[in-house]
Amino acid sequence: MKFTIYQESRPGKRPTNEDRIAYSYSRDTLMMVVADGMGGHLHGEVAAQIAVQYITEAFQREAHPQLKDPFLFLSGALNNAHHAILDYAADRFLPEAPRTTCVACIVQDSIAYWAHAGDSRLYAIRGGRILGVTRDHSRVQRMVEDGLITAEAAVHHPARNRIFSCLGGASPPQIDFSKKTPLMTGDVILLCTDGVWGPLPSDVIPRAMSTGNVLQATPALLNQAEARGGENADNLSMIAIRWEDSYAEDTLGSVSTKTMPVDSFTTQMEAFAKARKGAQPLPNLSDEDIERAIQEINAAIRKYSK
Amino acid sequence: MPPQANVPLPPGYQLNEYRIERQLSLGGFSIVYLAFDGEDAPVAIKEYLPNSLALRSQGDALPSIAEENVATFRYGMKCFFEEGRALAKISHPNVVRVQNFFRANETVYMVMHYERGRTLQEHIQKHKGEIRESFIRTIFSRLLNGLREVHTHKLLHLDIKPSNIYLRNDGTPVLIDFGAARQTLSLDTPLLKPMYTPGFAAPEQYNNIRRELLGPWTDIYSVGASMYACMAAAAPQAADQRLERDQLAAAVKRWPDKYSRHLLETVDWCMRLNYLERPQSVFALQKALADKARSVPRVTFLGGLRKRVRDLIK
């Protein structure tokens, strides 16, 4: 299995980042997940965190190194994540369970499988054209698809942010599944939150990915979406992969899992809010680091005092 | 929204063993207080409190730090530690002495020896245009002793300017405020970007700072600019503007009657835009200043006489 992957999450202009993203892969299987905690609901980021963490852990329990049935895995993982959020709320006597959107994708044997609840999207792109895309669980979006209102009208529709399926809600989530989608070299799979696709005209995302250079195109798309989001830009998160031919020459920055041990996983979870604008995560300074620095300085002061 | 100003701790506030007397200065990165220790000796306490990240409101001791700023706040603390580390190792009469470092109110504090006196900046303001050559030579030769000690410890000050040169009541200078200590330089963290004082920073400190270009010559540019400021009673043209269009009048041309040619040439030498053309070490500069020092009084004396005669004729 060989692919190039890039993920990034930004707070936009919001005080907190309620988006959570992660990917994990074994030798034979790749899993990616994006969750957008719902603001307005209590602890949106908690719901997103639980969903991403739960699904990643479930993947690591079951992919040894392959999943028996990727669709069954996705169904179980998303439904169980929903219940894990409800349990969290019940344990803490929260008046209302926190909620999150969720889109997750599995790639195994060069076939992609995905499932989603809410309005975080997955795009499968081939040669700059959309091969497949999730349908948002949003009445406004469905009205656009059915030709009842125009895309422009949807942008200003009062219910544009309302979704009818999510994890953690009062009713069980409606989860939609994709078809089995065989991937070819150069295909791009892209998962993102509405902070990314919302502000962008519909043709921008596939066009940006036509080069297949996800390492460059992903941050460029995020920049564009953030700029268009303006003063009120929502949290933006995106994971994108470019699928590679296993036998091709090494592409710069690509991951090859050929030599991975059967039972190992590589996981990348962006769980914590980053400083606004700082693209690089800052090295964390713990309480112990601070105490140590102070002790060192005081020792030096004593040593060099006459 | 521009960052708001932080509210300082109130007079009388007990901060560990120190009692706050009053605020001495307020910067974007920190607040400096005059305080007294348990034995009633005065100290200067610097509080790490970048106002873009942490805000203290009236009546509170603890600043409020937005969750997304916690990492950056802590990161900036590292730069503050860097300053403490740099100073802790230096014990020199012309470099500010750190006495203690501690943690309180969710931030960190650096306790420094408090000196009675004023900054060179204040001195320049008070004595506009009447600073004598002997004063400049005395202050800067001592200051260079301190700076040499700093460079010996493989540190650069990087923010030498008249307001960071403190004059004790006995007239001896102390180099203060090592807040720009090198760590801050190599990193691109916009919230904590160090503010250089235009006019005193060397050209290689502007824009895309290339770490390998910084050296003793960088501080030496600032020393030259500070001497120039003593003569002009104003900051010289900023180096980045000089790179575009150099309008800085050479000291040699500007004050030929007031200061010795030797001193003026030395100032111009320090302020060369090309760092390779400046004195390459503090020692080289000290040597240059000392070598011809003996011939200086005669020149100033004659120059002064000429000026007086001219004034009489007018």
Helix/strand/coil for A289: helix
Q: Residue A303 domain-assigned?
A: no
Q: How many CB atoms lie within 10 A of CB A36?
A: 32
pLDDT score recorded for residue A272:
42
Outline where DSSP puts E strands in A119-192.
121-126, 129-133, 176-177, 181-182, 188-192
Domains of chain B: 14-113 (3.30.200.20), 117-313 (1.10.510.10)
The contact set of A with B (CB < 8 A) is 11, 15-17, 272-278, 281-285, 290-291, 293-294, 296-298, 300-301, 304-306
pLDDT tens digit sequence for A199-253: 998 889 999 998 888 888 999 999 999 999 888 889 999 999 999 876 555 555 6
Q: pLDDT above 70 covers what percent of chain A?
A: 89
Token pair 């150069």 is at which residue? A186
Q: Residue A51 domain-assigned?
A: yes
Q: Are B166 and B64 contacting, i.e. CB atoms less than 8 angstroms apart? A: no
Q: Residue A94 domain-assigned?
A: yes
- B88 touching chain A per CB within 8 A: yes
Q: Give the whole-angstrom CA distance, residue A182 versus residue A243.
A: 11
pLDDT band at B312 (very low <50, low <70, confident <90, very high): low
**Nearest CB to B84: which of A17, A297, A306?**
A297
Q: Are B278 and B217 contacting, i.e. CB atoms less than 8 angstroms apart? A: yes
Helix/strand/coil for A243: strand
Q: How many domains does chain A have?
A: 1
Does residue A273 have a pLDDT over 50?
A: no
Q: Residue A286 domain-assigned?
A: no
pLDDT score recorded for residue B220:
96
Q: Are A283 and B81 contacting, i.e. CB atoms less than 8 angstroms apart? A: no
Q: Are B151 and B216 contacting, i.e. CB atoms less than 8 angstroms apart? A: yes
CATH number reported for the structural domain that contains residue A115 in this entry: 3.60.40.10
Does residue B233 have a pLDDT over 70?
A: yes
Nearest to A5 by CA among A30, A34, A42: A30
Residues 6+ apart with CB under 8 A from B291: none
Question: Would you say the ipTM is above 0.90?
Answer: no
Nearest to A57 by CA among A306, A290, A269: A269
- Span B40-57, average pLDDT: 87
- Span A85-96, average pLDDT: 83
Burial status of residue A139 (CB atoms within 10 A of its CB: 0-12, 13-18, 19 or more): middle
Q: Which residues of B touch A285 (CB under 8 A)?
A: 74-75, 77-78
The active-site residue, picked from B60, B159, B219, B257, is B159
CB pairs under 8 A between A and B: 79
Q: Give the whole-angstrom CA distance, residue B277 versus residue B217.
A: 9
Q: Give the whole-angstrom CA distance, residue A221 versus residue A198.
A: 12
Q: Which residues of A touch B91 (CB under 8 A)?
A: 304-306
Query: Is B159 a catalytic site residue?
Result: yes
Helix/strand/coil for B56: coil
pLDDT score recorded for residue B210:
61
Q: Residue A52 domain-assigned?
A: yes
Q: Please report the DSSP string for A57-119 in residue order.
A: HHHHHH-SSS-S-HHHHHHHHHHHHHHHHHHHHHHTT-SS---B-EEEEEEETTEEEEEEESS
- Span A78-98, average pLDDT: 87
Q: Are A214 and A240 contacting, i.e. CB atoms less than 8 angstroms apart? A: yes
Q: Give the whole-angstrom CA distance, residue A189 versus residue A123.
A: 6
Q: Which residues of A touch B81 (CB under 8 A)?
A: 293-294, 297
- Which structural domain, as residue segments, surrounds residue A165? 2-272
Q: Which residues of B touch A304 (CB under 8 A)?
A: 88-91
Q: Residue A300 domain-assigned?
A: no
Query: B314 vs chain A: nearest CA distance in angstroms?
Result: 58
Residue A304 to residue B91, Cβ atoms within 8 A: yes
Does residue B107 have a pLDDT over 50?
A: yes
Q: Residue A47 domain-assigned?
A: yes
Query: B74 vs chain A: nearest CA distance in angstroms?
Result: 6
Pairing verdict, β A121-126 and A111-117? unpaired
Q: Residue A295 domain-assigned?
A: no
**Nearest CB to B91: which of A274, A282, A306?**
A306
